[in-house]
Amino acid sequence: MNIIILSDRLGAARALRLSAPSVLLALVLILAMPAAAAWITWRLVAPMAEPVTQSVDYEAIWQQALAEQQIEAPVNESQVELARMTEQLGQLQTRLTRLDALGERLTELAELSDGEFDFDSDPGMGGPELRRNRDSSYRAPDVQTIIDQLAARIDDRTQQLRLIEQLMIDRRSDANALLDFMPVDEGYVSSGFGRRTDPISGRMSMHTGIDFAAKRGTAIHAVGAGVVTFAGRKGAYGNTVEITHGNGYKTRYAHAHEVQVAKGDLVQKGQAIATVGSTGRSTGPHLHLEVFRNGMAVNPARHIAMKQ
């Protein structure tokens, strides 16, 4: 390649001869100059822009962390609430199982196994189904619904147990009120209720009780529960105990050797209250038992369990 150079100062022309490699190198330098300028400019501007870019990134990371924490908090609270409800559900199931077992046992002891009290199944329910909308899809009950159902079953079992308790108390009260306990464990009836020949005077007279001949010192038992209204010496009856049972009934235990209760004592059916003796107008050791209803003597044999 030839290059001609004209010079005004010298007034002549000069010719330069360039080889092909020299021309190629010159072209490469010319093309590389813009790229070098762009690289130098980027290196100068980047240090000033970098802090701003890093600040924006940190702010974004902080906001994202706060958002994730706000999302996770309700989830954790829900998990805690679910765990609490699950624990409560287990406690209710355990309590219901114990109530069912106790109810079945009490039903057997009270001889109520006729279906009146049932601890094996849920209480009966029913009625027409009134739908407020056309949505007939099935939805499984949640934990709170199951807890409410168990609580309702526990209330039902508790009510049944209360009824059984009241029934057994009433039965016990009625049983204690009955004057059907044998007053002496040993002995025999030596004189019945009604007209008889008096063993001392020999004349006909009215015997207002029953005589039980027994050994001296034999225990005398109350034929029913009640309150001692007299305990002490009482004329021809000798050492005597009188018990008021309620409903107009009163019993008298006469000719005792030793009195073991005092006035005002509460006694249970079958409780020992005295011992057999021969005090007062008597021909030998025996118990004279009288039963009064509304102040009138009645035949004790109608009440006590006679054991000949």
Per-residue model confidence as pLDDT tens digits over 95-129: 777 777 777 777 666 666 555 555 555 555 455 55
Q: Answer whether 159's CB lies under 8 Å from 184's CB.
A: no
Spell out the residues 6+ positions from residue 281 whose beta carbon is closer than 8 angstroms to its own. 200, 236, 237, 238
Range with lowest mean pLDDT among 124-128, 234-238, 253-257, 281-285: 124-128
Determine the distance from the C-alpha atom of residue 121 to the mean position of all C-alpha atoms in its chain, rounded to a whole number: 17
pTM score? 0.48
CA distance linking residue 89 with residue 95, whole number of Å: 10
* pLDDT tens string 136-176: 554 555 667 777 777 777 777 777 777 777 776 666 655 66
Whether 52 shows a pLDDT value over 50: the answer reads no
* Residue whose C-alpha is closest to residue 254's, from 210, 224, 297, 294: 210
> What CA–CA distances, in Å, run from 32 to 28, 35, 136, 175, 176?
6, 5, 78, 122, 123
* Residue whose C-alpha is closest to residue 1's, from 10, 201, 15: 15
Whether 230 shows a pLDDT value over 50: the answer reads yes
- Local confidence band at 27 (pLDDT 50, 70, 90 cut-offs): low
- Side-chain half-sphere exposure of 108, counting CA atoms within 13 A: 5
Burial bucket for residue 273 (CB in 10 Å: 0-12, 13-18, 19+) = buried
CA distance linking residue 101 with residue 124, whole number of Å: 20
Burial bucket for residue 242 (CB in 10 Å: 0-12, 13-18, 19+) = buried
